[in-house]
Amino acid sequence: MAKIEFEYSKSAVNRAGVALLAGVKEDHDGAKKALDNWRTCHVAPLNSFQSSLRRKLSKIDNEALVSQRLKRMPSILAKLKRNPGMKLARMQDVGGIRSVVKDMSNVRKIQSEYTKGTKVFSIVKGGKDYINYPKDSGYRSVHMIFQCKSGFSIELQIRTIIQHAWATAVETMGTFLNHSLKSSEGPDEWLRFFVLASSAFSILESTPRVPEHNNYSEYEIFDMLLKKEKELDVISKLSGFRVAAKHIESDKVNGHYHLIILNLDTRRAKIKSYTKRDAYKANIDYSEIEELVSQGENLQVVLVTSKSIASLKKAYPSYFLDAQLFAKQILAVRKKIARMKA
């Protein structure tokens, strides 16, 4: 892969963030180019970190999912809007890499492997343990922030399969409600449902619940969740959203980078793959589709790296509107409460 050079100053990147957030038409093209270049410069650090992560996981959890992504422009702008004092060039999660492991034991093992950083990456402030201290929304995962010698930061997320099931279901339902449920925005009944689901799932994993549920018994939390699921018809709705396999189009290229384009009007997904040599082209195409979204096209798009198309679908099920894994956890709760009643 040809080296991608950083063509702007950090102050120029910060100004680009301000201009894009303000929506000034005259500044849009130049600001978008600055953001695209800065975002693309995170590719090399992500590739390097992924190699390290895969080596460590080979000794801890051979079946772990590993994927990386460049943060979508709508997500970047939404984060700037939520945090008015934040400068774009200081955003730490533009380059993100995720590890989904079997259980909490493996989460802590991987976390321990990185507590002192690596030879190439220094660990820096900004990480959070959202498993010991869940977000009010119910989000649970370990976040660690690293910085490479060139100054670009990346975020490592480590989560269990159960935590992954919750997070991707939240994103899928948020897509159809047209609200960012993961940012605690949207109808109260849905926000409350997913907070309950998080606390119920934390019981399954013997980890701390969302604090508002600490005074309830395990039975009460399970019971409240299942009643709310029935009231909202959650599993049925999520099942209906799923993109059928025959509606997933792939160019069949054995690539390193994958551009996922989800058309929300037709519920069809397209996967376009690129080799490592084509990283620059992949990012150009990513930017062009994002521009269509900004013009009103009802699409979702993300550029990710994954070992195969099969693992891609497991790592990013929300881009295929697939919440089967979440449904399995609800079933586990049903079985648990049935045993309690017996």
**Could you read off the pLDDT of 183-228 as tens digits, one per residue?**
899 999 999 999 999 999 999 999 999 999 999 999 999 999 999 9
Q: Indicate if the alpha-carbon torsion angle 206, 211, 215, 217 is positive or negative.
A: negative
The pLDDT value given to residue 2: 57
Q: Which of 287, 242, 247 is nearest to 270 (CA)?
A: 247
Average pLDDT, the chain: 93
- For 131, the 3-state DSSP assignment is coil
The pLDDT value given to residue 247: 83
- Give the separation between CA 223 and CA 62, rounded to whole angstroms: 35
Residues of the chain with CATH 3.30.460.10: 10-161
Superfamily of domain 10-161: Beta Polymerase, domain 2 (3.30.460.10)
- Interacting residues of 201 by C-beta distance below 8 A, sequence separation 6+: 140, 162, 163, 165, 166, 329, 333
| Reported confidence tier of residue 110, pLDDT bands at 50, 70, 90 | very high
- For 67, the 3-state DSSP assignment is strand
In the 8-state DSSP scheme, what is residue 247?
G
Angle between helices 25-40 and 10-22 (to 10 degrees): 130
Q: For residue 89, what are the CA distances in angstroms to 12, 151, 267, 295?
A: 9, 10, 35, 25
- Interacting residues of 205 by C-beta distance below 8 A, sequence separation 6+: 103, 104, 160, 162, 163
274-305 pLDDT, tens per residue? 988 898 899 999 999 999 998 899 999 999 99
Instruction: Compute the average pLDDT of residues 2-7.
Output: 80
- For the cut 80, the answer to whether the pLDDT of residue 244 exceeds it is no
- Give the separation between CA 325 and CA 280, rounded to whole angstroms: 34
More confident call, 96 vs 254: 96
Cα 71–chain centre separation: 9
Q: What own/partner pairs with CB < 8 Å and gap ≥ 24 does 126-129 have?
A: 126/92, 126/153, 127/155
- For the cut 70, the answer to whether the pLDDT of residue 145 exceeds it is yes
Counting beta carbons within 10 angstroms of the beta carbon of residue 119, is it exposed (0 to 12), middle (13 to 18) or buried (19 or more)?
A: exposed
